[in-house]
Structure formats: C-alpha cells, structure tokens
Amino acid sequence: MDKNKKMSNRSNIEWITLIVGSAVLLTIGALMAIFPEQGVSLSKKMFSILTHEMGWIYLWIGMITLGSVIYFITSKYGRIYLGDNKPTFKKSSILFMTIAAGFGSATMYWLFMESISYYIGPPPGYAALSAEAGEIAITASFFHWGFVPWSSYLVCAVLVMYAFYIKGKKSFKFSDILNDALDNRVPVIVRKLIDIIFVVVTMGGLSVTLGLSIPMISSIISDLTGLTRSFAMDMSVIAAIAVVFIASSFVGLEKGMSRISSLNVYACIAFLLVVFLAENKVFALNYFTNGVGKYITEFFSFGFNTDPINHGGFPQGWTIFYLAYWFTFAPFTGIFIAKIAKGHRLKDILLLTMLGGGCGSMLMFMITSSYSMNLELTGKLKCVELMQTTDANNLIVQVLRTLPMAPVMMTLFAVVAILFMATSLDGSAFTLAGVTQKKLDKNGNPSTKLKMYWCVALVVFPIILTYAKADLNAIKSIAYVVSFPMVLVILISLYGTIKGMNKVFGDMTTKEIDEYNKKLINS
C-alpha cells in the first residue's frame, strides 16, 4: 500500500512543469551572472518595448479588470456561493490573509519614499518640487496601490473560484481554466508552456521582491546594531524569513498563515498608529482629504495617461510599470484568494478584498506619505536630498530614526516587513505546488512535500542570484515581459468564465440563485 501510495504521489506531479520551470529559472540566473552587461542591456530593451510600445495595452486591461470586478459585485452572479460546505475561514481571517499575501514586504519599501519620488519627478503637467507636485504625489500612490491593481488580483481569483467551486475542477492551473474557456481546444504543449511561464513569472517576481526587501531590512539592522551590512547579514535575514514561512507552510493555511497574517496585520496597525500619533495630524488629514479629491477627479487621467506628446516617461516608469508589477503577482495571489474563499458568496469575497486591500493601501500611504512629506516641507529631514544623493534604503532608515522610540519602531518595521515577506512566500509556495500537481485533494490542497520543495526553491534561488551578483532589476524586467502572455490568458479566460456564468445562471432570477445556494449548502 505504501509503495502504491508513493507511486500515486509521483504520478500526480507535473514533472515537465516542475523540472523545466526550475531549469529555466536557473538558466536565466546563470546567464545573468555570466553575462551581466549583455543581460542588463537586453532586459532594458525588452522592458522598454513592454512599457513604451505596449504600455497602452496595460492601461486598458487595468480598467477592464476593474470594470469586471464591479460587474461581478453588482450583478446577480455575486450572490453565488463558493462551495457547498461551511466557510473554512472567517471573513476577518480572509481579510488579514489577503492583505498579508497581497501587500508583501515590497510595500514597506515604498511607504515612506514613494511620495518623495513623485515630488521629485511628478506626473505630466506638474513641475518638479512644486506645491502642485507635492499634492499630486499622494494621489499617484492611491492610484498605483488602490482599486485598479487589486482588481487584477480579484479577476484572477474569480476565474479560479468559478472553475474550482462551481464547475468542480480539481485544479488551480490557469492552463486548465483557459482550456475549459476554449472548449478543450488548447493543445497540451501550449498548456504546459502556460504552466511553465506561471512558474518562471512567480519565482522571478518573488526573487526581486526579496531583492528589494532584504537590503532594506539589513540596512535597518545595520543601523540598530552598528554592524556593517554584509552578505552574511543578508543571508541571516533570508534565513529568518525562511524559518517563519517554511514552518507556516508545513502546518498548513489554517494553523500557519492564518495566525501569522493576523499577527502581521495587528503589528502593522500598531506601527501605523504610532506614526500617525507622531506626525502633524492636521497636515496628514488635510493631505489625505486633498489626495482623495484629486484621486476622484484625476482617476481616468491616471488610468489612461500615456504622455504621447512630451514623452516625459512618468506613465511608463510608474503607472504602466506598476500594472505590469501587479499582473506579475496577480495569478498566484488570485489562486491563493480562491483557496481561502470556500463557503462565502462571490461578492462578499470581492468586496472584502477590494475594500480591505484598496482602502487599506490608501490608509497606509496616507499616514506614511504625509509623514515623510511633512518632514521635507518643514525641513526636519531633507528627504529630497537623501533620495538624490544616497539611496532609498538610507532614506527609509533616516525617516524611521525621526519617530518616537526610534529603535523600537525600527525593529517593529523590520518585523512587519519580514512577516509580510513570509506570508507572501507561504502563499506562493502553496500556489506553485498547486500548479505543479495534476490533481488537488478534495479540499483543494496540494502535496505537503511539493510545498516544501517550493519553499526551499523560493529561498535558494534568490541566494544563488545574490551570491552570483546577478542583476535583480534585469531579472525583474524579464519576469514582467514573460508575464505578458499570462495577461492574455487571463483576458481570454475571463471572457470564457463570463460566458459560462451566463450559460448556467443567465436565465435564473435572483430568487432562483438563492434557492440554488440553499441546495448547495444543505447538500
């Protein structure tokens, strides 16, 4: 029996996806290390084509995904229950886990320095370092981290939720969702290629997130301890993150990530509360209110701006870059949201995540952006000069040092960043295991051993890149470029999902859908 079980487990693994995906990643890393200059040059050209020549596509797709989420929330389809059992997780747990998985430690990297970046290099029509540039800075953060990017997560989640809970497919793979949307006409080789792209994009994007987060955390530790930042310190930070997320992944979502996410969100709230109490609250609230007003009036300007005449580069360097960034993480985050959504109505999950993620990001940037901007305007800290003469990590450290109980707050900031990273990696290991497995169990869980493999890979790959001194920005650009086919897969699958919903539920009234739900719950 044990021998048969082992054989069954082995035959359930998507070996081609697992081996080829891992090999492609190692090959890219090796080439970047051996030919760094050529790799950087090629990746820049590829990314320039993506953002400057094809960037308009991302802007349209961003608005399409937002419109689709609104449609699912407001239509009768939003009343559909996901699964026929009681919810696996409470709404509060879902909120905490989606925020923890969706933000990641890269959010912490941008919190204090993004508004300063926009102040120095504002959107088209604004003069650098002007009062108007300072005002629009927080609005830009609201757009880049608000409802449009979170809708990319949710569209992917809808595709997976419909396939898994409504159609009964025991798979989280987007290749299977696309195949179903096109009436099983997608060749096997194309489906394998989609799965491999998913692995490469997910691993590449997360490696870069680690590449941003590790130096930031190490810089804080260096300032606190007086030790010089070194490769050994970076590896110690990665090890700390690895211990947390591998342990969490091993015990499962219910006992692991759910509890860590709750701890993480509470710690983040505590940090933000201290920052808010320490800052000029009148300025912060005025800055926030003004930013919300501009967010409403300038929403479509941000959403469709390509700056075609002046070619200043802001839309390409920021808005389109961020959309590509979010779509890189959208498929695996969507899978994770779908996994924890069981037992709830579709619109409840969408509203919870959209409001929690979108409003939560706006609240975070309201507190931190107003704090760093006020430091600059009052002359308490020359943030602009620090950005222009040093680096982002030094700016973050210097801003944190102005807070009350600075050592405690710096430690708390680092802990929150580590927990954000750990929960993102935990969710990623889960989804990668799901994509490299043919069929999930009845509860939608992949093999624990497969999860552990990806846990190790998610730690080892960035270490190899760091040790080899491979250019993480180049790998980031490649990940974003390779993600473009996934965006096309998402759009086609979205069309197929809406068509499938119309076929099954289109003739049902709201009352009939409610009756359908009752049968599911009572079955």
Collapsed DSSP state (helix, strand, coil) of residue 381: coil
- pLDDT (tens digit, 9 = 90+) per residue, 175-230? 998 998 888 899 999 999 999 988 888 887 777 677 778 889 999 999 999 999 98
- Least trusted range by pLDDT, from 204-208, 249-253, 327-331, 343-347: 249-253
Is the pTM above the cut of 0.75? yes
Q: What is the C-alpha R_g of the chain?
A: 23
- pLDDT (tens digit, 9 = 90+) per residue, 485-502? 888 999 999 999 999 899
pLDDT higher than threshold 80 for residue 277 = yes
How confident is residue 375, by pLDDT bands cut at 50, 70 and 90? very high
How confident is residue 260, by pLDDT bands cut at 50, 70 and 90? confident
**Are 53 and 221 in contact, with CB atoms under 8 Å apart?**
no
CA angle 140, 322, 395 (to 5 degrees): 65
Tokens of 219: 């810089």
pLDDT for res 85: 63
pLDDT for res 7: 42
- Least trusted range by pLDDT, from 128-142, 152-166, 355-369, 453-467: 453-467
How confident is residue 97, by pLDDT bands cut at 50, 70 and 90? confident
Tokens of 297: 């009036």
Round to whole Å and give the CA distance between 299 and 495: 25
pLDDT higher than threshold 60 for residue 5 = no
- Least trusted range by pLDDT, from 25-29, 351-355, 448-452: 25-29
Round to whole Å and give the CA distance between 44 and 209: 18
Length of the chain: 523
Kindly tell me the burial class for residue 491, based on how many C-beta atoms sit within 10 Å of its own C-beta (0-12, 13-18, 19 or more).
Answer: middle
Give the count of beta carbons closer than 10 Å to the beta carbon of residue 456.
13
Residue 262 or 298, more confident:
298
Residue 421 or 61, more confident:
61
Dihedral (C-alpha) 158, 160, 164, 170: value to the nearest 10 degrees? 180
pLDDT for res 78: 93
